[in-house]
Amino acid sequence: MSHPERTPAGASESTADSPRLSQPDRPWIMRTYAGHSTARASNELFRRNLAKGQTGLSIAFDLPTQTGYDSDEELARGEVGKVGVPISHRGDMAALLDGIPLGEMNTSMTINATAAWLLALYVVVAEERGVEPARLQGTTQNDIIKEFLARGTYAFPPGPSMRLIADTIAYTVHSVPRWNPINICSYHLQEAGATPVQEIAYSVSNAIAVLDAARERVGQELMGEVFGRISFFVNAGVRFIEEHAKLRAMAILWAQIGRERYGVQDPRHLRFRYGVQVNSLGLTESQPENNVQRIVLEALAVTLGRDARARAIQLPTWNEALGLPRPWDQQWSLRIQQVLAYETDILEYPDIFDGSTVMNGLVDELLTGAREEMAAVAEHGGTLEAVPYMKAAMVDSQRERLRRIEDGEQVVVGQNRFTESERSPLTADAEGGILVVDPAVEAEQIDALRRWRSQRDQAAVDRALAELARVAREEDPQANLMAPTIAAARAGATTGEWAATLREVFGSYRAPTGVGDAAAPAHDEELERLRAQVAHLQEQLGRRPKILVGKPGLDGHSNGAEQIAVRARDAGMDVVYEGIRLTPAQIAASALQEGVHVIGLSILSGSHLELIPAVIAALRDAGVDAPVVVGGIVPEQDIEPLRRAGVAAVYTNKDFEINRIMGEILDLVAERAAQPAAAQPAPA
């Protein structure tokens, strides 16, 4: 099972007459997930965090970087530097890592579709500083299947995406042996609604698909080394006893698969190695101070039991349900880890759950459920073929979770119970207790990008990208894309150019939404009232009311949009939901063509003040007269500007009652229909 770096073998074991270890374990790697605005601003933040006692880096990239677009492309509008740092070329990567000892640093990069590219930039910058690839240690998340299921930052179709992952694994096993080439990410599966059983089953099934693809490139003789470099990035919710059992179950299942499917025998290779960020889904906008104790309790799930302790931890901040955290907020989360590691006694004991009948029973229960669900995935043709099945299952699980919260069956303190509250001084400043990125950052980044392009050797870039395209067209499993990717990074190519070259070869892709396949709920009184409201409105309109649910920009967090779409469908409305990553023009064209009566827009990336007015302008230009409602992470101070831009209603994380939201949306449609001057939309 997983454990942190320890003292020499046997030195930490307990003695016969003491329940304690002979000396405490070393703490896990402590990180904060950080990056924003520009490479230089993020570098300053990294250095400050390291000075505060952080022991590893965890890089957050902005959405254009994650999805393979340069900062000056249309889809990048409003998203540059918002949820992470923009990295367009090796110059940006060099600035990001300035002064950081890459030969000693353990760096985690939360990057998936463009993981091969960002790893190449990291390798090239390290080489320029005299650090050989063999000395580098860290992780690229590089898990594309969970992007199709939960996070949405994919760039290429499933097959080519798996090829990129396998090529990265083959390259690192030979050239960067201390690097974890993939972090199988169950974290976002839980954020998208997965139960503990689903989180185990889908992430382990995902790992099997990755290992099967890698075996074609490295051969059986290296599968032990490959298996030993696969790590996981997991989620831990506030039900921390069950969450700890989940991790023990994953460790047992992982070792079994290694032995039985891949012939791995070395216990070091069979170890379940994972890092963690504890649950962000359960953080609330209401009474956000409660999030501190939630984070502390969730950290216990991944530290309390020695035999399933995380190797690396990054904790969210108390204000992530409000917006971007400030350096001070991240410091608070780092201090939580440090108090846990250095003030408590959790590192002084052997595994405290050893022999626990409760824990053993929970583990067995989760293993049984996970194996059954893995069998269902296999029956659907394996992980890649089963993406629609898994997506629909998670949408259903998320709906059930939200129903329990709406009905009060699942208590969320400060949200659906104990809601009386004093005003929090933590949010009393002008920015509402969050970091607000200067809108000028995007223009500055675009100017810097264009200067980079004008000063490089364009002929060398063209040759490198042509070679990348040539290798991408090869069907031989030994035609590894990492070599031409690294060559393109050295030549000065950009993130958008690298991705565009591969899109031209591989094509584009839109992942399933899970909305159409989600099961209809059983009888529900609130839902019946909504259906009656829809029926009355249908008589008024002459046809069923129709809603368009849109995700403008690059934000791939689609949970809220999916749940609104599913609830609207269950209430009897016609629903238009085409998934994520839409331009304002595309949303307007769809609204016109479909003749919708109301438009719901969802953004969680902080780009709402730029993108929502752009969508409203596009709707007006197209002649669409329908109310627009907005949902997502919208700070209080941004609500009035959105209303002035023409938004009819704004819903934030504190608005958890979806039936109420749907009722208010239907009221908006009825009000608009009753206005004689309003031109009612009809299908084009």
Per the DSSP assignment, residues forming a β-bridge with 641 are none
Query: Cβ contacts of residue 452 below 8 Å, gap of 6+?
Result: 88, 89, 91, 492, 494
Q: Which of 92, 329, 555, 570 is catalytic?
A: 555
> Edge-to-edge strands of the sheet including 649-651?
574-577, 546-550, 598-603, 628-632, 649-651
Q: Which of 36, 244, 269, 557 is catalytic?
A: 557
User: Each residue of 1-11: b (16+ CB within 10 Å) or e?
Assistant: bbbbebeeeee
Is 551 catalytic? The answer is: yes
Is 187 catalytic? The answer is: yes
Considering only CA atoms, which of 331, 311, 309 is closest in space to residue 319? 331
| Cα gap 62→37, rounded to integer Å | 9
Considering only CA atoms, which of 81, 171, 100, 163 is closest in space to residue 134? 171
Is 555 catalytic? The answer is: yes
Is 380 catalytic? The answer is: no
> In Å, what is the CA distance from 184 to each residue of 143, 146, 163?
6, 8, 16
In one-letter notation, the amino acid at residue 208 is I
Query: Cβ contacts of residue 480 below 8 Å, gap of 6+?
Result: 167, 170, 171, 217, 471
Task: For tokens 């910058």, name the residue.
Answer: 125
Contact (CB, 8 A) for 610 and 618: no
Let me know how long the chain is: 684
Q: Which of 146, 246, 551, 608 is catalytic?
A: 551
| Cα gap 70→497, rounded to integer Å | 8
314: enclosing H helix or E strand:
strand 312-314
| Cα gap 436→432, rounded to integer Å | 9
| Cα gap 656→674, rounded to integer Å | 29
61 three-class SS: strand
- DSSP track, 162-210: HHHHHHHHHHHHHH-TTEE-EEEE-HHHHHTT--HHHHHHHHHHHHHHH
What is the dihedral sign for C-alpha 313, 319, 322, 328?
A: negative
**Count of CA atoms in the C-beta half-sphere (13 A) of 585:** 3
| Cα gap 240→380, rounded to integer Å | 32
Helix 495-506 to helix 482-491 angle (10° resolution) is: 140
Compute CA 472 distance to the chain's CA centroid, rounded to the nearest angstrom: 27
Compute CA 640 distance to the chain's CA centroid, rounded to the nearest angstrom: 29
| Cα gap 641→90, rounded to integer Å | 38
Helix-strand-coil percent breakdown of the chain, rounded to 5?
50, 10, 40
What is the separation, in whole angstroms, between the first and last Cα of the chain?
60
| Cα gap 565→577, rounded to integer Å | 7
Task: For tokens 């249908």, name the residue.
Answer: 538
Compute CA 538 distance to the chain's CA centroid, rounded to the nearest angstrom: 39
Contact (CB, 8 A) for 31 and 299: no
Per the DSSP assignment, residues forming a β-bridge with 357 are none
Query: Cβ contacts of residue 123 below 8 Å, gap of 6+?
Result: 133, 136, 176, 486, 489
Active site residues: 33, 187-188, 551, 555, 557
